[in-house]
Amino acid sequence: MVVLFAAVAFLATEESPAAQRGRTGGEGLVAEGVPRMPNPPGPAPKRDLSGAWVGPQNNKPEPVPPMTPAGAAAFKQRKAYGTASRTQGLGASNDPFITCDPLGFPRDLLAHAISSRGGTLFGSAPNRILIAYEQQRVWREIWMDGRALPKAVDVRDAPESRYYGYSSGRWENDNTLVIETTGLDERAWLDEEGHPKSAMAHITERYTRTDQYNLQVAVTVDDPKYYTKPWTFMRANFYWMKAQDFSESLCVPSEAIEYRDTLSRPSGIDAR
């Protein structure tokens, strides 16, 4: 599934019939378009998240806490589409994803272009875990060798910030992987509403595999530059899929620019 233009991509409320057909099969559905695996599930394998997962499902985040003056000022500059649908009230927006700038982390975890039923692949390489995302076909390296995260970015003798940050992971026990990330590029939005994040925001992911097919995910944001306290950005479930074939979900820059210049601006939508 190629996203023809970014505005429609993240406003979609349901998958296309073709995308749904790609995920149907088996007996019963965990959610629309997500086949249910055999029941009951087996035990969770130890220290192993490998394979394909669908989610986030049943996401129940905490409310965004009050922002600092710097956070409120940054947020005021962001113009999101909000709750607009495909057919009405698109309005103006300066979301960088309109012209296919990277979603960045942790916004990519929301899998917004396919109704929070995106695909996530966990794999491995020497000294690291690899996490690949169906949405935009991007991947992250989670270093498992104990290396320290950068204490600063974008200053002399420090590394450059990254859209998906620098990540270090560890197994808390046989079933829980903890990932810490910082060093984030501030241009990417934190979420769909346009909340900001600072370069040194500290984001912690906890993945707990409760059994063969179920994964509980909690993501905490700690960013004292912009927010008055840490909060849970995501608390959701992921579901393991056997032999899952993910669709190709891409934001194509040439098509996004064509949409902006031939449809959006002539219609009065200030998509910049």
pLDDT, one tens digit per residue, over 108-127 is 998 765 555 678 999 999 99
269 or 228, which is more confident? 228
Predicted local distance difference test score (pLDDT) of residue 187:
96
Per-residue pLDDT at 17 exceeds 50: no
Per-residue pLDDT at 196 exceeds 50: yes
| 122-162 per-position pLDDT tens digit | 999 999 999 999 888 899 999 999 999 999 999 999 999 99
Q: Per-residue DSSP letters for the chain?
A: -EES-HHHHHH--S--HHHHHTT--SSSEEETTEEPPPSS--PPPTT---EEEEEEES--PPPPPPBPHHHHHHHHT----TT--SSS----B--GGGGT----TTGGGG-GGGTT-EEEEEEEETTEEEEEETBTTEEEEEE-S-PPPPS--SSTTSPPPBTT-EEEEEESSSSEEEEEEE-B-TTS-SSTT-----TT-EEEEEEEE-SSSEEEEEEEEE-TTTBSS-EEEEEEEEEEETT-----BEE-HHHHHHHIIIIITTTT--B-
Residues in the chain: 272
Predicted local distance difference test score (pLDDT) of residue 28:
57
Predicted local distance difference test score (pLDDT) of residue 15:
38
Identify which of 140, 112, 108, 106 has the alpha carbon closest to the alpha carbon of residue 125: 140
Predicted local distance difference test score (pLDDT) of residue 4:
37
CA distance 118 to 70: 33
Predicted local distance difference test score (pLDDT) of residue 172:
97
Q: Mean pLDDT score of the chain, rounded to an integer?
A: 83
| 250-264 per-position pLDDT tens digit | 888 888 788 767 765
What does pTM read for this prediction?
A: 0.83
